[in-house]
Amino acid sequence: MTEFVFNAKKRSLQNNVKVILTSNSSVNTEFCKEETVKELKNAVKEAKFDGSYGKCVSVYNGKNRVFLVGTGAKPTAAEIQELGGKIYGWISGFSKVAVFVQPLPKIKADSSDVACNLAFGMELGGYRFDKYFTTKNSDDYPQLEQVEFFASDGKLNNQDYDNLRAVANAVRYARDLCNEPANYLTPEVFADDIKRLEYLGLKVDILEEKQIRANGMNMLLSVAQGSHNAPRVAVIRWEGTPESDAPKLGLVGKGVTFDSGGISLKPSSGMGDMKGDMTGAAVVVATLKAAALCKLKQNIIGIVGLVENMPSGHATRPGDIVTSTSGRTVEVINTDAEGRLVLGDCLWYLQEKYGAEVIIDVATLTGSTMRTFGSEYAGLFCNTDGMAADLCEIGEMSGEKVWRLPMNKEYDKLINSDIADMKNCGPANAGGITAACFLQRFVKEENAWAHLDIAGVDRDDKGHYLTPKGATGWGVRLLTKFVGCW
């Protein structure tokens, strides 16, 4: 793990590898030795380097190596983070690197903002899931032990990074959970992991099968019943301001540790990706972890339904009817539309038992939404315009973008059943929307609710600057920003 140090006073010129940030073509002479300044100035001229975003010139004189990196005049925080991820790729082969930043007055970012967002990007970009390699000799393996930040205005200190450090920790935690294969991360193991977060001051209640049954969460149980691995429901509470009478905020996550489709079995190609069908749960748990690490002055309740969806002689059959904890009956048309069954019971329980009034659920819910947005946006469904607008704006700021899709009565009608109160899926088209309509039937009208369908953004098969190949932990940045961690 790389250590990030923010140094206010000492302006060390000792380090052999330096990164200097600039928004223009001038070379700041106080950051390196005279001869290097000369070389840099020549390189700038030769490469026509103008400090625009993401551009870089570098010089190397056999001993010192300097990267001059452009920020452009008006980068957003998300762009600075991404730049951090990009720089990480250039420096990860060195063990110690010094980074010199300057304030960016045009976006009112002081040097501390710039340094913290860069470090955050480096932490996300430097993530690796390597626990299952028995030898770590890959060329890709990062060597970077320490990055030390300096600024000409001397305004850096380690505490400034506390909140973003917590968020980075949470993103990495979510990715670890999502990359974990389903033979290791069963519902029980996942629940034990969540329970361990109590050391941070979180309150965690784990419901086992008996209690889940006593609560009447039969939709959730119908998903789990084909599997040898018993289900769990975890309720995680952060009470940062116990006396507050603000509307109660609740987060709900889909935690299907493996989704084979059940009796409506999925095709084999790509089925392994369904180990990540618990990403919504990981993101909710990680957001609560971040809130605790930040000692956030707010109350949040999280609930995650942890189940494995498998075919067997015990499994739910297409056509079965189950009674949800809300009392309404559901005809299970397709056992592969399992996420909504898990979420429906969790949503209802969260409102009934804990009185949640503002609710966000996160789920890898439909292939339909994945085909709509690819890996650029997550699908947003919301019953409250103001909340939808907030989430869209926070999405842009956090780098995890959402786009709202419509829901209305015509779509909702499509999930009426001939022999029960509803069925668990509609016709082939508009699958993301009818899934959202199903969830909405378990949300009380007076409550503000948003559903994030993150199928498509939950993993990255190519890898980007902030998200190496594999699980992205998508949603932790958005939700931690929504709750006010950063």
Active site residues: 266, 340
Among the listed residues 338, 361, 400, 412, the single contact to ligand BES using CB under 6 A: 338
Alpha helices by DSSP H, listed for 361-457, are 367-373, 385-398, 409-413, 431-440
Output the smallest distance, CB 459 to ligand BES, in A.
8
Q: What is the helix (H) or strand (E) element at residue 130, kind and residue range?
A: none
Residue 174 interface partner, choices Mn ion, ligand BES, Zn ion, none, CB cut-off 5-8 Å depending on type: none
**Does position 82 bind Zn ion by CB under 5 A?**
no
C-alpha torsion 171→439→272→169, nearest 10: 10
Residue 207 interface partner, choices Zn ion, Mn ion, ligand BES, none, CB cut-off 5-8 Å depending on type: none
Output the smallest distance, CB 249 to ligand BES, in A.
26
**Does position 432 bind Zn ion by CB under 5 A?**
no
The DSSP code sequence of 274-308 is GGGTTHHHHHHHHHHHHHHHHT-SSEEEEEEEEEE
331 or 338: CB nearest ligand BES: 338
Closest CA to 439 of 325, 364, 344: 344
Output the smallest distance, CB 316 to ligand BES, in A.
13
75 or 226: CB nearest ligand BES: 226
Taking the C-alpha atoms of residue 382 and residue 391, their distance in angstroms, rounded to an integer, is: 10
Output the smallest distance, CB 141 to Zn ion, in A.
33
Classify 242 as helix, strand or coil.
coil
SS percent in the chain: helix, strand, coil, step 5: 35, 20, 40
In contact, 122 and 85? CB cutoff 8 Å: yes
107 or 337: CB nearest Zn ion: 337
Residue 123 interface partner, choices Zn ion, Mn ion, ligand BES, none, CB cut-off 5-8 Å depending on type: none
Specify the DSSP class assigned to residue 226.
T
Output the smallest distance, CB 72 to ligand BES, in A.
35
Interface with ligand BES in residues 203-262 (CB under 6 A): 259
Among the listed residues 103, 121, 142, 431, the single contact to ligand BES using CB under 6 A: 431
166 or 457: CB nearest ligand BES: 457
Which backbone phi and psi does 254 adopt, to 5 degrees? -80, 120
Which backbone phi and psi does 159 adopt, to 5 degrees? -65, -30
**Does position 337 bind ligand BES by CB under 6 A?**
yes
Tell me the window of 49-57, 72-80, 161-169, 256-264 that interacts with Zn ion (CB under 5 A).
Answer: 256-264
Specify the amino acid at residue 255. Answer: G
180 or 308: CB nearest Mn ion: 308
Neighbours of 20 (CB within 10 A): 20
Output the smallest distance, CB 265 to Zn ion, in A.
13
**Does position 400 bind ligand BES by CB under 6 A?**
no
365 or 391: CB nearest ligand BES: 365
Tell me the window of 40-48, 142-150, 241-249, 330-338 that interacts with ligand BES (CB under 6 A).
Answer: 330-338
**Does position 367 bind ligand BES by CB under 6 A?**
yes
In contact, 226 and 314? CB cutoff 8 Å: yes
99 or 283: CB nearest ligand BES: 283
Residue 431 interface partner, choices Zn ion, ligand BES, Mn ion, none, CB cut-off 5-8 Å depending on type: ligand BES
Output the smallest distance, CB 54 to ligand BES, in A.
31
| Cβ-based burial of 271 (10 A; exposed 0-12, middle 13-18, buried ≥19) | middle
**Does position 308 bind Zn ion by CB under 5 A?**
no
Here the tokens at position 178 are: 């999502």
Taking the C-alpha atoms of residue 387 and residue 407, their distance in angstroms, rounded to an integer, is: 15
**Does position 79 bind Zn ion by CB under 5 A?**
no
Which backbone phi and psi does 183 adopt, to 5 degrees? -75, -25
Closest CA to 130 of 172, 183, 190, 191: 172
**Does position 277 bind Zn ion by CB under 5 A?**
yes
Instruction: Give the binding-site size for ligand BES (rule: CB under 6 A).
Output: 16
**Does position 277 bind ligand BES by CB under 6 A?**
yes
Among the listed residues 28, 334, 375, 383, the single contact to ligand BES using CB under 6 A: 334
Output the smallest distance, CB 471 to ligand BES, in A.
12
**Does position 339 bind Zn ion by CB under 5 A?**
yes
Residue 334 interface partner, choices Mn ion, Zn ion, ligand BES, none, CB cut-off 5-8 Å depending on type: ligand BES
Taking the C-alpha atoms of residue 230 and residue 462, their distance in angstroms, rounded to an integer, is: 34
Output the smallest distance, CB 150 to ligand BES, in A.
43
In contact, 279 and 178? CB cutoff 8 Å: yes
The sign of the torsion formed by the CA atoms of 92, 93, 97, 99 equals negative
**CB burial string 362-393: b at 16+ within 10 A, e below:** bbbbbebbbebbebebbbbbbbeeebbeebbe
> What are the residues binding ligand BES (CB under 6 A)?
259, 277, 334, 336-339, 364-368, 370, 425, 431, 455
Residues at the contact surface with Zn ion, assessed by CB under 5 A? 256, 259, 277, 339
